[in-house]
Amino acid sequence: MNRKYKAPPIQEVLVEFKFIPDSKWDMTIPGLIYEKVKKDFPERQEQTGIGIQFQKTEKGFAHKVSPAPPRIQFYRKDKTALLQVAPNILIINQLKPYPSWKKFKPMIDKIFKVYKQVVFPKGLEKIRLRYINKIDTHKEELKLEEYFNLYPEMPENIAPNCSGFIARIEIPYKDNRDHLSITIGSSTPEDPKEISMVLDLDYLLDKTDAIPLNDYKKWLEQAHSVIEDTFESCITERTRNLFMEEK
């Protein structure tokens, strides 16, 4: 379902490649990559922090917080895009304004080729394609059914007291090779008179070496198609009107 909007809600799109660990990695690699991308991504900095992941447990999903390896980040001058490099990890982030999938793909391909030329990865452990959408309304109350086809339903006696929410669904694809995580929740609005909601669609290849290294393009096309269809299935016509759909 290829709809176009004048004011799309996309805050960030990211592609993450996690490669099969290889002892050949060393700290000269980010510098070699930078030499090949500095024309497009001239600003660099080191980022350290923590990693937050959802893990399956017997009781459902739980957060796991762990130290993350240092990442070297290369920014575009206008800070609308960046790439991040860490041991066996390559992440490509596109921030607002998101151009289009058709225009984002060539950037992914160009950076992936640079990484291959420098690192010579053994294979793919995981791939992730993630779209983070933020939806702002001027409504004074949360009436999720007016904006979403997918939302947590609450008993009437507690619904008026709800000041925030979050819900997450996991859907398997390709005989459990992949899965899609749909997270919907409230967010802090920039304008206190507004209500902000986030719709986070995260499609993940979850089996090591399940596809050949050079088949990533085909996988990304499938992932994008699933995310695009899921996004449209999750929202209502009223929400589309917020984005000013182009007919």
At 198 the three-state DSSP class reads strand
Residue 194 Cα distances to 6, 139, 187, angstroms: 20, 7, 10
So what's the pLDDT on residue 242? 87
d(CA 109, CA 182): 26
Length of the chain: 247
Q: For the chain, percent helix, then strand, then coil, each to nearest 5? A: 25, 40, 35
Amino acid letter, residue 220: L
d(CA 190, CA 199): 17
Tens digits of per-residue pLDDT, 46-78? Answer: 887 545 454 555 544 455 555 666 789 999 999
d(CA 134, CA 184): 10
Angle at the Cα of 226 from the Cα atoms of 9 and 146, rounded to 5 degrees: 45
pTM, full prediction: 0.87
Tens digits of per-residue pLDDT, 199-210? Answer: 999 999 988 889
Mean pLDDT, contiguous 10-residue spans, the chain (247 residues): 84 96 84 96 82 52 59 94 95 95 96 95 94 82 77 67 77 95 85 83 93 95 97 92 84
**Cα Rg of the chain, angstroms:** 19
d(CA 86, CA 95): 20
DSSP assignment string, 83-124: EEEETTEEEEEEESSP--HHHHHHHHHHHHHHHHHHH----E
So what's the pLDDT on residue 128? 97
